[in-house]
Amino acid sequence: MWGELLRRRSRTKHHDRRRLAARLEPRRSSSPAMMSSASVSRLLLRRTVPQSYSALSVAPRAIRYASTAPPTEPEPTTFTPPTMASIWEPPPERKNEEGFRMKSYKPRTPGVRHLLRPVNEHLWKGKPFKPLTIARKGQGIGGRNHTGRVVVRHRGGGHKRRIRTVDFVRMASGPHTVDRIERDPGRSGHIALITNNETGRKSYILAADGLRAGDTVQSYRSGIPQELLDSMGGIVDPGVLAARTAWRGNCLPLHMIPIGTLIHAVGSSKDGKAVFCRSAGTYATVVAKDERSDCIVIRLQSGEVRRIKKDAPATIGVVSNVTWQHRQLGKAGRSRWLGIRPTVRGVAMNAADHPHGGGRGKSKGNRHPVSPWGIPVSDTLSAEITTPGVNPFPRSKFDVLVFYLHGSLTIADLSFCNRRNPDIRRDR
């Protein structure tokens, strides 16, 4: 009895499979583009998983219901098989609310789970220009001085590198062509390799944001070229001169830069080198020009306002690699690659190593916070930002004074003098 039932069931399955194949045969075409999506799905399912297809085929009611539908012409469709994303594909770029691009990675290992890197596709992939580099060796690489004592903590180790000699003076006049933009492992901002069009001499400078290979930069520290004066008809108009010279990457004296311009690599004296705004993404703003003195008022990103000599150099633009501050190293090993050693808390040390060390547990002994050498450490800032005052250089010799002329305060009236001058009204 059971044998007869099994034979009937096998014959029914075979008959249903043949009927389904006969109904699908007229819908098939020699061209894959003329096949309907349902036919393609059944055909792929039958070729890949025959057992699942035979299990789905034992539905005589569904087949009879489908056979009563009127025949329709299949719409031409283009079949594209689904493709799976490879694990070796480049990671997607991430954009935040500010709009900068960061590169994230799939968390295959714990070290790349939180890793974020800026996207800089324009950087040079090769080695640096070796004549402009020097070897980084000696005792100074470990934070030690010439006697071998540690003068800078948390320094040491790191990957082997060469120091790039960057030109912060830029006294060479004439147009220079940017050969390439490189990454400097010793600083946060990028550097640009430029070539003098007249002499062919190469040098490294800080790359402004947006500077690319093939651009032309020029320094006007030595004065305005005679060709530029001749092209202007011999009349030096400040507006026209600024439009011809104040371009991204050009180095100019401060008195030639219009008010409101973003600058970086600012010097402090006429013949000195750049000392302010040299890190990635930093800049200063020209606030005012004091006609009664030889100084220019600039505002730093911290809100501090300074008076700089009008002949001091400055470069137009913002320092490159502006997304550097949003990077995440992801693991402690990358800090060691950069030459940064661990920072240990004082309460975790022994009593012989730190005033907060020793004892049982994590108590520092009911003592106010001090440095490893016993110097009290305040929780507040040691220097407050004075706005809209002007902080001179050096700070200890002058006061911040505000002039009131004709009953109104203007930015151009910001100035300062010696404390002993009684003729100027102070307003703090």
pLDDT at site 422: 40
Is the confidence at residue 207, as pLDDT, over 50? yes
- In three-state form (DSSP H/G/I as H, E/B as E, the rest C), the secondary structure along the chain is CHHHHHHHHHHHHHHHHHHHHHHHCCCCCCCHHHCCHHHHHHHHHHHHCHHHHHHHHCCHHHHHHHHCCCCCCCCCCCCCCCCCCCCCCCCCEEECCCCCEEEECCCCCHHHCCCEEECCCCCCCCCCCHHHEEECCCHHHHCECCCCCECCCCECCCCCCEEECECCCCCCCEEEEEEEEEECCCCCCEEEEEEECCCCCEEEEECECCCCCCCEEEECCCCCCHHHHHHCCCCCCHHHHHHHHCCCCCEEEHHHCCCCCEEECEECCCCCCEEECCCCCCCEEEEEECCCCCEEEEEECCCCEEEEECCCEEEECCECCHHHHHCECCCHHHHHHCCECCCCCHHHCCCCCCCCCCCCCCCCCCCCCECCCCCECCCCCCCCCCCCCCECCCHHHCCCEECCECCECCHHHEECCCCCCCCCCCCC
Question: Is 173 within 8 Å of 157 (Cβ atoms)?
Answer: no
CATH topology of domain 130-320: OB fold (Dihydrolipoamide Acetyltransferase, E2P) (2.40.50)
Is the confidence at residue 215, as pLDDT, over 80? yes
pLDDT higher for 59 or 195?
Answer: 195
Crossing angle of the two packed helices 50-57 and 37-48, in degrees rounded to 10: 120
Residues 235-249: what's their mean pLDDT? 87
Phi, psi of 216 (to 5 degrees): -120, 130
pLDDT at site 83: 41
Rounded CA separation 243/257 (Å)? 10
Rounded CA separation 208/215 (Å)? 11
Winning range, highest mean pLDDT, from 81-95, 291-305, 306-320, 404-418? 306-320
Rounded CA separation 200/267 (Å)? 26
Is the confidence at residue 184, as pLDDT, over 90? yes
pLDDT at site 49: 45
Question: Is 326 within 8 Å of 100 (Cβ atoms)?
Answer: yes
Residues 211-231: what's their mean pLDDT? 90
Starting at the earlier edge strand, list the strands of the sheet with 93-95: 93-95, 101-104, 116-118
Lowest-confidence pick of 69-73, 241-245, 376-380: 69-73
Crossing angle of the two packed helices 60-67 and 2-24, in degrees rounded to 10: 30
Residues 262-280: what's their mean pLDDT? 94
pLDDT at site 165: 96
- Superfamily (CATH H level) for 344-380: Ribosomal protein L2, domain 3 (4.10.950.10)
Question: Is 257 within 8 Å of 316 (Cβ atoms)?
Answer: yes
Residues 48-73: what's their mean pLDDT? 45
Rounded CA separation 220/209 (Å)? 20
Within the chain, which residue ranges are assigned CATH 2.40.50.140? 130-320
pLDDT at site 290: 78
pLDDT at site 411: 39
Is the confidence at residue 332, as pLDDT, over 60? yes
Share of the chain above pLDDT 70, in %: 65
Lowest-confidence pick of 229-243, 321-335, 381-395: 381-395
pLDDT higher for 132 or 361?
Answer: 132
User: Checking phi first, is residue 233 left (phi over 0); if not, alpha (psi -120 to 50) or beta?
Assistant: left
pLDDT at site 81: 45
Residues 226-236: what's their mean pLDDT? 81
The model's confidence at residue 395, banded by pLDDT at 50, 70 and 90, is very low
pLDDT higher for 231 or 10?
Answer: 231
Is the confidence at residue 289, as pLDDT, over 70? yes
pLDDT at site 10: 60
Is the confidence at residue 115, as pLDDT, over 80? yes
Lowest-confidence pick of 40-44, 113-117, 126-130, 371-375: 40-44
pLDDT at site 230: 84
Supply the pTM of this predicted model. 0.67
Within the chain, which residue ranges are assigned CATH 4.10.950.10? 344-380
pLDDT at site 362: 83
pLDDT at site 423: 44
The model's confidence at residue 425, banded by pLDDT at 50, 70 and 90, is very low
Question: Is 281 within 8 Å of 172 (Cβ atoms)?
Answer: no
| pLDDT tens digits, one per residue of 333-380 | 999 999 999 999 999 999 999 999 999 888 888 889 999 999 998 766
Residues 195-213: what's their mean pLDDT? 95
